[in-house]
Amino acid sequence: MTASIHTMKLNHLSFPSSDTPATAAFFERYLGFTIAGSWDQSYILKRPGFDVVIDHASGDKPVWPTAFHAGFELPTLGDVRELYERFKTEGVDMETEIFNNGRGSRFFCRAPGGVMFEMNTRSDAAAQYRNTFDSQALTA
């Protein structure tokens, strides 16, 4: 591998949406992003380490492959439960209940515009998966 590959970092993710204001507001309200600007009904959202672009898609809501999603990790199972209850109370489109698949507890939901999110914690992951979480363990 070249040195440039080792220093490469995530710059941004881009999601199409037929309702960019609602999608951008979801990212801001629930995921801690800051709306940095907009143009032609599209938005740039900032979070430490990377940006998200919400691109205006004219016409119908984009159709996503069934399992496509972006995942966000929370520190504890309590944090996952708290966010799950908040999302349910505030009418977020929930895909699943909270469940544990061995790699930790999680739930799935959808933002306006159709993007699916996994909100998880690894704090309660089974021992056999723990070494897969540390990127240093994979390069050592």
> Is the pLDDT confidence value at 110 over 80?
yes
Q: Are strands 70-73 and 116-121 parallel, antiparallel or unpaired?
A: parallel
Q: What is the pLDDT of residue 120?
A: 94
Complete domains list, the chain, with CATH: 1-60 (3.10.180.10), 64-140 (3.10.180.10)
> What is the percentage of the chain residues whose pLDDT exceeds 90?
59
Q: What's the predicted TM-score (pTM) here?
A: 0.84
Q: What is the pLDDT of residue 137?
A: 42
Average pLDDT score over the chain: 88
Residue from 7, 10, 2 nearest 71 by CA: 10
